[in-house]
Amino acid sequence: MQVTIRGDSMWPSLKDGQEIICSPYNGQTIFLNQVVIFTHPFNNSIIAAKRVKQIQDRKLFVEGDNPDPTASDDSHNFGWINFESVIAVAD
């Protein structure tokens, strides 16, 4: 499946409008530094792409790549996400 990146939270690794190839998440192993696509924990209408920075007890701490701390709504704002909210993983 293709996912289009929207916004600058993953810059400079992934740019606004860039399309990336992802595999649907079906319980496969998720690795540190892998990009995951998931449903935002506070707004189900938002699908987000972030990089996995920590894994603990079926939960993920995810961050945007942008060095500007105000450029990404990530686990610093909403905390850990559950594996169940992951839709896809970047190939």
- Reported as a single tens digit per residue, the pLDDT across 31-56 is 999 999 999 999 999 999 999 999 99
Total structural domains in the chain?
Answer: 1
Cα separation, 7 vs 25, whole angstroms:
23
Cα–Cα distance, 33 to 30 (Å, whole number): 9
pLDDT of residue 69: 84
CATH number at residue 57: 2.10.109.10
Range of the domain at 37: 2-90
The answer, yes or no, to whether residue 89 has pLDDT greater than 90, is yes
